[in-house]
Every structure is written in structure tokens, then in C-alpha cells.
Structure 1
Amino acid sequence: MTKFTDIKLNDEMYSIVFGFGKVIFVLTKSLRLDGYYVFEVEYENGQKVYYTEDGKPNWCRDINNCTKTICYKHEVNFDEVDTKPKKKVLTKNKINELRYNDNLEMMSPAGGWIDANLMPDIMVDNAMNKEQYHLFRKMKS
């Protein structure tokens, strides 16, 4: 049984990428197929994302190799979310090196530092293109 089999309209959700949101669409159980998107969440910033019953988002390039980035709001311990500002800004070359080595974190719109691999590629690329290097840091060990 997958985690979001019994998802309902207006369920309160939390994404480590986009923050708080509500379920605005749920596909009827009889129409669902394994591995396909079955519900949609709209976040406070207006972003809308479709998810599978496993919680995999529609922005993943490889749905079979994708990490779940969403959970029910009541399951989150917000004391564990790292929101501390970083001390120094990395250079573009250092960011690219850390990204290549899977050792890069990015400040998500939700306000916490997360593995840059969990962020939509377009968000990481846009931050790089706009030279928003303050949004990146080396992953803590």
C-alpha cells in the first residue's frame, strides 16, 4: 500500500521544496494506474504540482529514480528544518563542482536547506543563471 492512497481534497500538505499547500485535485481510485499522477497540490506561492500515490512529483526527470518530497503537514517536525543563513557566498565554479559531486544544498522556497538534487532542475538552473549564488551551500556532513 502506498502512502497517499487515501488522499482527499483539501488535505494539508508540506513539501520540502515549496512549503505549505492543499490538495486541489484527486483522481478517482477506479481510474488510477500504478506510477501515474493521482493528485495535485497547490502551494501558497501559487505553484501547482502533480504527485503519484508514492508522493513522487511531476517535475522529476526519471520517475523511477525520484525521491518523495511531500508529506502530510501534521507529520512534519519543523524544529528539525534547517533554516539557518549561511556565512559565505560560494563561487559559480565551486557550486558547479559541488553539484557535480552531489554535495550541494539549496535554499528551497519553503525556507529550508535541502539537497539540490531534490529541487526541480529548472529552479537550480534559474538560480545559477540569475547569479543567485547566496541560495547555495556545501552539504553538511
Structure 2
Amino acid sequence: HSCTLADISTLEWINTMTANLTRVNKELRGLEVDVAVSIDSVQSEIGSCFDSIQSETSPLRNDIDSFNSSIADMKQSVSIELGHLREANISTNMLIENVQYDFYLTVLSLYQADKGLDDAFRMLNHTFSSYHHSTESNVFHL
């Protein structure tokens, strides 16, 4: 089988294409290396940024932690204080109720001495009706 002109031109075309592909392949390899280098530099840049951010934020984090713990302390002391206030309020209310009760008894005995029971209860109900509305525990449910 002898080489014809067509065979020669096909061979030349194949050789040219091969050379072109080889050149493109080399360029792609070069690009690949460039991209890899770029990725490395970007990664190291990101790493240093991350490091500086961490060094910037760690004192902030410490401040936030101490702030949170002081808020917790404040909450605790406020709740303790509220407990004391509640106890004081309860004992004050008891004292007021005792005084009111003593007052009722005194007035009642005065009226009993003067006018008898019916008049005394009528006067008590009239005089202290506002107390009945304002106090939670009505002393007189007679």
C-alpha cells in the first residue's frame, strides 16, 4: 500500500492536531499550577485573617463572659432581696390585720357596753365597710 497525497495530508493534519493538543495540554498544566498556587495563597490569607479575628475576639469573649456572670450575680441578689421584701410584706400585712382586729374588738366592746349587740354590729358594718373592700381577709364574716 503506497502513500497517496491524501494520506500525507491526513498525516500532516494529525501531526498538527497532536502538536496543538500537546501545546494546549501544557498550557492547561500551567494554569492548573497557577490555580493551585492561587488557592494556597488564598487559603493562607484566610488562615491569617481567621487568626487575627480570633485574637481580636477572645478579649471580647472574656468581657462578655464576665458581663454575663455579673448579670447572673445581680439576678441572684435581686431575687434574694425580693424574697426579703416578700417576707417583710407578709409580716407587715399580718401586723396590719392584727391591729385592725384589735381595733374592731375595741370598738365592738365599746358599742356593746353602750348600746347592745345589734347596734354595735350595725355601726361596725357601716363604719368599716371600706375596710371590708380593701383588705383581702375580712375579719368579720358574722
TM-score range, shorter-chain basis?
Answer: under 0.3
* TM-score, length basis structure 2: 0.16
Greater share of strand = 1
* TM-score, length basis structure 1: 0.16
Specify which structure has the bigger relative contact order, considering alpha-carbon pairs within 8 angstroms and separated by 6 or more residues: 1
Larger Rg: 2
